[in-house]
Amino acid sequence: MPRPKQNRKMAYPPLMQGFKPFGIPRKMLRSVSLLFEEYEAIRLLDYMGMTQDQAAGEMNVSRPTLTRIYEKARRTIALAFVEGMMINIEGGNVQFDTDWYRCRRCFKLIDGLGNHQHCSDCDFPDNDELIPIQPDQQ
């Protein structure tokens, strides 16, 4: 029996839920999934410029595990670019530092129910319109 996967640590979810190729209607596209931990590996290594050891420490995984996550993310992104597929960022085995929600109206990320500030695009009176961001716990 394999050892259960340890949750990967993630500070906050991505601002967007995915990407779509320009100029192709959504109904004509196939899609691929980029897991939250794959997004986080790309963010830490490529965007933040961390070393693999630093990024592995941030995500609470070993360096070889981070390398496997990063390689899978790169393959997924390459597949989407070359074949013109939509990328959905969803799921995975991650744990956030705080509870995160997304507003149904303006899609803004909110860290905690008490921190929902109503903006000009968001006229909902209460927190019933907040969607909890919960990755798959595998």
Span 47-91, pLDDT tens digits:
999 999 999 999 999 999 999 999 999 999 999 999 999 999 988
Q: What is the pLDDT of residues 10-48, one digit of tens each?
A: 888 888 888 999 988 888 999 999 999 999 999 999 999
Predicted TM-score (pTM) of the model is: 0.81
Domains of the chain by residue range: 29-94, 96-133
Task: For residue 79, give the nearest of 135, 29, 45, 40 by alpha carbon.
Answer: 29
C-alpha span between 85 and 30 (Å, rounded): 5
Predicted pLDDT of residue 85: 94
Strands 94-96 vs 8-10: parallel, antiparallel or unpaired: parallel
What CATH number belongs to 29-94?
Answer: 1.10.10.10
C-beta separation of 127 from 82 below 8 A:
no
**Model confidence at 96: pLDDT above 50:** yes
Strand partners, 132: 101
Question: How many CB atoms sit inside 10 A of residue 54's CB?
Answer: 15
Predicted pLDDT of residue 72: 97
C-alpha span between 122 and 105 (Å, rounded): 6
